[in-house]
Amino acid sequence: MIGIFDSGLGGLTVARAIMTELAGYDIIYFGDTARTPYGTKSPGTVVKYAMQNTGFLLEKGARIIVMACNTASSVATETIGASFDEPVFEVITPAVDLATARSRTGTIGVIGTRATINSNVYEKKILERRPDARVYSRACPLLVPLVEEGWLKKPETRMIVKKYLHPLKTRQVDTLILGCTHYPILKDIIGQKIGKRVTVIDSSTAVANEVKRFITENPQIDSCLSKNGKARFFVSDITDRFRATAQLILKNRIVLEHVPW
């Protein structure tokens, strides 16, 4: 199984891409809904949660882990990589690769949770690839709760997105990285507010393709992955709201299983 985790709904955007690019491979998803959001927590706490989530998915039979959470990816990649033998994928590098390849002017905007933006990991990775780049980052802490609440089309959500994006618009970014896996769920609003001349980068398909490439290049790992087209969804707190928004994202009915932490 391919194990995927996030603090809640956001990682489903990555799960959806993996189910499309790797159709037939079994996946197991964990959304840590009892402890969401991660983006307002300290790095130490997020590392602790990421370790527990990874351990849980491996215990359930995952053979590959995808941290479908920028916050966890920005602070926990090293620790997770050093603590487990299984291959672990993060969502930041694929987004940076896409953005640095696509930006014409090198003026790149990044939006993410407070923890992700404070980690500076995007800026560091962008400048490693394009030392000429100018990176403008903005933490958007209200967006994750709005998505978790299912406020996907409300005028208040539009207004908040507009306010967050204003400074990046002023800087004339030509590329905007959605540095949080919850944000693709608001991609239409974000696209409208940042303007159609800006390329909006969502790394979910790039991450799925990276996993696919890895599996193709490592047949011994591919042979350990079950392929019955099954998907299991675990959460640490079951709510009707989560189920409804998850079904909207996946365009499918799902059964939620509870993990009592």
- Measure the CA dihedral 211/126/129/121, to 10°: -70
Among 3, 37, 109, 184, indicate the residue that binds ligand DGL (CB under 6 A): 37
Is 140 designated active site?
A: no
Among 77, 116, 157, 205, indicate the residue that binds ligand DGL (CB under 6 A): 116
Contact 116, 70 (CB under 8 A): yes
**Residue whose tokens read 């602070």:** 75
In the complex, minimum distance from the CB of residue 71 to ligand DGL, in angstroms, rounded to a whole number: 4
67 binds ligand DGL (CB under 6 A): no
Copy the structure tokens of residue 87: 């291959």
In the complex, minimum distance from the CB of residue 53 to ligand DGL, in angstroms, rounded to a whole number: 12
10 binds ligand DGL (CB under 6 A): yes
In the complex, minimum distance from the CB of residue 91 to ligand DGL, in angstroms, rounded to a whole number: 7
Among 69, 88, 165, 211, indicate the residue that binds ligand DGL (CB under 6 A): 69
Among 3, 39, 94, 109, indicate the residue that binds ligand DGL (CB under 6 A): 39
119 binds ligand DGL (CB under 6 A): no
> In the complex with ligand DGL, which residue's Cβ is closer, 15 or 133?
15
Cα–Cα distance measured from residue 154 to residue 72, given in angstroms and rounded to the nearest whole number: 28
In the complex, minimum distance from the CB of residue 125 to ligand DGL, in angstroms, rounded to a whole number: 15
Out of 69, 161, 178, 198, the active site residue is: 69
**What does each C-alpha distance from 100 to 10, 27, 60, 93, 135 come to in angstroms?**
23, 30, 37, 11, 11
| Direct distance between the N- and C-terminal alpha carbons of the chain, in angstroms, rounded to an integer | 22
**Residue whose tokens read 């709510």:** 239
Length of the chain: 261
Q: Identify residues 147-186 at the interface with ligand DGL (CB under 6 A).
A: 180-182
> In the complex with ligand DGL, which residue's Cβ is closer, 61 or 150?
150
Q: What's the one-letter identity of residue 9?
A: L
> In the complex with ligand DGL, which residue's Cβ is closer, 10 or 28?
10
Q: Which ranges of 142-198 would DSSP assign to H, the alpha helix?
A: 143-148, 155-170, 187-194
* The dihedral sign for the CA sequence 6, 12, 17, 19: positive
**Residue 153, helix vs strand vs coil:** coil
Out of 180, 208, 225, 249, the active site residue is: 180
Among 27, 58, 121, 144, indicate the residue that binds ligand DGL (CB under 6 A): 144
Is 224 designated active site?
A: no
Q: Is 209 exposed, middle or buried (0-12, 13-18, 19+ CB in 10 A)?
A: middle
Q: Identify residues 70-99 at the interface with ligand DGL (CB under 6 A).
A: 70-71
What phi, psi does 132 have (nearest 5°)? -85, -5
Site size with ligand DGL, rule: CB under 6 A: 16
Q: Which residues bind ligand DGL (CB under 6 A)?
A: 6-7, 10, 36-39, 69-71, 113, 116, 144, 180-182
Point out the residues that are catalytic. Answer: 69, 180
